Amino acid sequence: MNIKEAAARSDLPPKTIRYYEEIGLIAPQRDLNGYRRFAEADLHRLTFLSRARALGFSIEECRTLLALWADRSRASADVKRLAQGHLTAIEAKIADLKAMHDTLSGLVAACAGDGRPDCPILHRLAPENETQRSNG
């Protein structure tokens, strides 16, 4: 299949597929005219990559996951360790986002949002020694 077909079947844009080839995640065959020719095995790798990236795995984590997937003698503990590390990173991001949400939510609630110039949101964002800017 050509790149357009592979893109449609793997739910990846052709540009992403070309990038994955450039960085060595896939290696499709080339026709005599230079066009990429994707086999079913390439499509399986692309689908795997699409799903892994949708879960937020980095390119290097995807490279490791592909190697583990290809290694039938792998230990599932190796896969779990990688996934657990990624899950821990996601949980840390969620905690950071929750803290951001709580802070911003409080600031929005504290702001009158009227015609007065006083604004707790701007006070919170301003450096401590710059909280009173001129109104000119």
Residue 54 lies in a domain: yes
pLDDT, residue 136, reads 46
How many separate domains does the chain show?
1
User: What's the token pair of residue 56?
Assistant: 């937020």
Residue 4 lies in a domain: yes
Count how many residues are written for the chain: 136
Provide the CATH number for the domain around residue 19.
1.10.1660.10
- What is the pTM for the complete model shown? 0.80
Residue 17 lies in a domain: yes
Residue 70 lies in a domain: no
Count CB neighbours of 121 within 10 A.
Answer: 14
Residue 19 lies in a domain: yes
- Give the model confidence (pLDDT) of 52-101 as tens digits: 999 999 999 999 999 999 999 999 999 999 999 999 999 999 999 999 99
Residue 64 lies in a domain: no
Query: Which range of residues forms the domain containing residue 43?
Result: 1-58
Residue 86 lies in a domain: no
Instruction: Determine the 3-state secondary structure of 108 from DSSP.
Output: helix
